């Protein structure tokens, strides 16, 4: 059943004409916003906000979802999923997740930590010997071990030298982006290149030696720098080793199936491919036409807003949903607490008031951060526009699925959700 507006939902609920939303039946239950301390009128601002950005040409469409205190209060499809063919966005439209894939790896890693199969302080070389004795790439002059420039031309490398890493990189370093591995500076450029997309015969196992073939961009633990496509894939390979399962099978068996996430895949099944969002002026063929055996924890998943809301709801519930416990509340707090001792100050722009946990940012001081989220909220985003967060104090989850990155739309959505809280 296609839900239209929150106001209509409120009317139907109040009159007893709507008992459940069939697309969410027996899953996350609906409630009126007022039942969970939110304003219907204010929550409807999400719809006007998103439509304003569609009308301005900022985005062509979106799917938005909000839940509080375990109840769904907003779920809407907006605009178009395929502009060229004038196809409206659907509630079950499939989005390329890009880096929104990363928190799934965070949960997988926390499972292995809970079970004692890995420890955050473990050196990566304990599981992958090729990462022993890593070196750090720095400029030859000046003699400063902290200088590793970005934007290096592989065919015109500056004079540089390699210095020994002061210590081995750890699983903690990779989960917090403080390892110096694959962060896009000089050391990363020394890594053996690979084609994009990767050939179908490449796997996580086959790529580890290549990732270790370069050098680190800084001394482990010295700074925060985003490892967009390498660091967490190394952790995924470690999960494979200690669990005895390929990463795609592990997360399906241990995360997706218990959460009833039936529309989340690395390779979208052929019968569902017409549900994928198509973006104007972007060549989607590298993603649409490529079947992969490289199951990237960094950027490989496709999903729907409904599925990902279930994932976020599990986090806000302290690791449990639908009677299935994935993690302990302690593990969720560990994942969603600052683990970087103040090293993280934003991505893309400098922000105060933020920390970084295991694969997720953490809002510590909303005012200092200029954030539209409450203190303690944690989440992440994808390069194509997906953005989600969990706010344990407010018992709130927010999901915004775009395929066009537009910061203003993201901030306006977060603001509308936050301002709808009245209790």
pLDDT digits (tens, 9 = 90+) for 283-300: 888 888 889 999 999 999
User: pLDDT digits over 220-239, tens only?
Assistant: 999 999 999 999 999 999 99
Which tokens hold the place of 418? 């936050």
| pLDDT at position 146 | 63
DSSP state of 415: H
Number of domains in the chain: 1
* pLDDT one-digit tens code per residue, 274-284: 999 999 888 88
pLDDT at 195: 80
Name the more confident of 23 and 99.
99
| Dihedral pair phi/psi, residue 363, rounded to 5° | -85, 115
Cα 234 from Cα 124, distance rounded (Å): 8
**Tokens 């959505």 map to which residue?**
413
Question: Is 158 contained in some domain?
Answer: yes
- Per-residue pLDDT for 18 more than 80? no
- Classify residue 231: in a domain, yes or no: yes
pLDDT of residue 64: 98
Query: Is 216 a member of any domain?
Result: yes
Confidence of residue 147 (pLDDT cuts 50, 70, 90): low
Residue 171 lies in domain? 107-243
| pLDDT beyond 80 at 17 | no
Q: Which candidate, 148, 176, 152, 178, places its Cα nearest to that of 163?
A: 148
- Asked if the structure places residue 354 within a domain, the reply is no
Per-residue pLDDT at 398 exceeds 60: yes
Residue 342 counted as domain residue? no
- Would residue 201 count as lying in a domain? yes
Rounded mean pLDDT, 312-333: 98
- The answer to whether the CB of 183 falls within 8 A of the CB of 177 is yes
Is 39 within a domain? Answer: no
pLDDT at 51 over 60: yes
CB 161 within 8 A of CB 140: yes
Q: How confident is the model at residue 145 (pLDDT cuts 50, 70, 90)?
A: low
**pTM beyond 0.85:** yes
Residue 120 covered by a domain: yes
């Amino acid at each position: 059943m296609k839900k239209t507006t929150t106001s209509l939902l409120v009317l139907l609920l109040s009159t007893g004409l709507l008992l459940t939303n069939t697309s969410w039946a027996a899953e996350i239950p609906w409630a009126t916003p007022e039942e969970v301390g939110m304003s219907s009128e204010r929550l409807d601002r999400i719809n006007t906000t998103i439509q304003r950005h569609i009308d301005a040409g900022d985005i062509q469409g979106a799917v938005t979802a909000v839940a509080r205190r375990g109840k769904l209060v907003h779920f809407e499809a907006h605009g178009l999923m395929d502009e060229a063919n004038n196809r409206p966005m659907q509630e079950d439209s499939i989005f390329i997740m890009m880096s929104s894939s990363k928190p799934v790896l965070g949960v997988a890693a926390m499972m292995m930590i809970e079970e004692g199969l890995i420890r955050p302080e473990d050196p990566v070389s304990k599981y992958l010997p090729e990462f022993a004795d890593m070196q750090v790439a720095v400029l030859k002059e000046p003699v400063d071990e902290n200088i590793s420039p970005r934007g290096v031309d592989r065919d015109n490398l500056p004079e540089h030298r390699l210095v020994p890493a002061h210590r081995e990189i750890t699983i903690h370093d990779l989960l917090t982006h403080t390892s110096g591995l694959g962060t896009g500076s000089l050391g990363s450029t020394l890594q053996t290149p690979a084609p994009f997309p990767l050939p179908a015969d490449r796997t996580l196992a086959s790529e580890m030696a290549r990732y270790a073939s370069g050098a680190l961009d800084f001394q482990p633990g010295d700074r925060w720098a985003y490892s967009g496509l390498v660091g967490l894939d190394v952790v995924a390979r470690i999960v494979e080793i200690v669990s005895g399962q390929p990463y795609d099978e592990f997360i399906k068996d241990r995360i997706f199936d218990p959460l009833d996430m039936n529309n989340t895949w690395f390779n979208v099944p052929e019968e569902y491919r017409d549900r994928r969002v198509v973006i104007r002026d972007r060549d989607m063929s590298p993603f649409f036409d490529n079947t992969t055996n490289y199951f990237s924890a960094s950027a490989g998943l496709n999903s729907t807003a409904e599925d990902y809301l279930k994932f976020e709801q599990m986090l806000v519930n302290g690791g449990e949903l639908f009677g299935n416990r994935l993690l302990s509340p302690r593990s969720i707090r560990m994942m969603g607490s600052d683990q970087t001792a103040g090293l993280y100050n934003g991505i893309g722009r400098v922000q105060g008031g933020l920390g970084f946990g295991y694969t997720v940012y953490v809002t510590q001081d909303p005012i200092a951060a200029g954030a539209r989220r409450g203190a303690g909220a944690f989440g992440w985003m994808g390069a194509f526009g997906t953005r989600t967060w969990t706010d344990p104090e407010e018992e709130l989850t927010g999901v915004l699925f775009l395929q066009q990155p537009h910061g203003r739309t993201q901030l306006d959505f977060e603001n509308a959700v936050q301002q709808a809280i009245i209790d």
